A and B are shown apart, each in its own frame.
Chain A
Amino acid sequence: EDQVTQSPEALRLQEGESSSLNCSYTVSGLRGLFWYRQDPGKGPEFLFTLYSAGEEKEKERLKATLTKKESFLHITAPKPEDSATYLCAVTSGNDMRFGAGTRLTVKP
């Protein structure tokens, strides 16, 4: 069965303090790994899709990378508006499995 584990569960950073979020996965034939951002009381918002090991994608202060076993979401010089829960999901093409998310808080 496909599994997704995100760590840490919660992360508190000072503004400008760079860090990384981890998404470890086991899936029979990865077809895609997705990162979403979810603000409190809202639905998830799509950020990135990664398809193969070695692939990287960037958007503003966020950079997602992918290996054969895990993905990292790197946050460079975060700002308070980056505070949110970040969700990771994997698909083998027939199913999509979500992780429980990392709740990021960036203090000014």
Chain B
Amino acid sequence: EADIYQTPRYLVIGTGKKITLECSQTMGHDKMYWYQQDPGMELHLIHYSYGVNSTEKGDLSSESTVSRIRTEHFPLTLESARPSHTSQYLCASSFGGYGTGELFFGEGSRLTVL
């Protein structure tokens, strides 16, 4: 079982609110990722990090931001949520570099913006 944790699991908020989705892993992985997943659609990478103080945008444009101050922690922030941000957000980590090894996923954070 993967040791990667996401909170909150479910969040319903109003438009314009600032939210932070938390992600922590205890496996010591340098590489961490945020994916967005809508029902029946493929996962899309929105952010990734290869280590502390390293963050990059993924192939899907996102208005969210991320930070990586500690190896185990990779939070995602939306400064002003909109209904278009309603989605499932999945955090993942890997031992190898992106595209070279299996990903370990958290259980996801389902965000609904009213």
CA distance A84 to B74 in the complex (A): 28
Would you give the 0/1 interface string for B1-23, flagging 1 where the beta carbon is closer than 8 Å to chain A? 01000100000000000000000
CA distance A89 to B107 in the complex (A): 18
Total contacting residues, chain A, CB less than 8 A:
26
**Does chain A have a CB within 8 A of B52?**
no
Would you give the 0/1 interface string for A30-43, flagging 1 where the beta carbon is closer than 8 Å to chain B? 01101010000111
Total contacting residues, chain B, CB less than 8 A:
24
**Does chain B have a CB within 8 A of A101?**
yes
CB < 8 Å: which of B41, B44, B99, B108 contacts A43? B108
Whether B102 pairs with A34 at a CB distance below 8 angstroms is yes
Task: Show the binding face of B for A, using Cβ within 8 Å.
Answer: 2, 6, 40-45, 59, 90-92, 98-108, 110
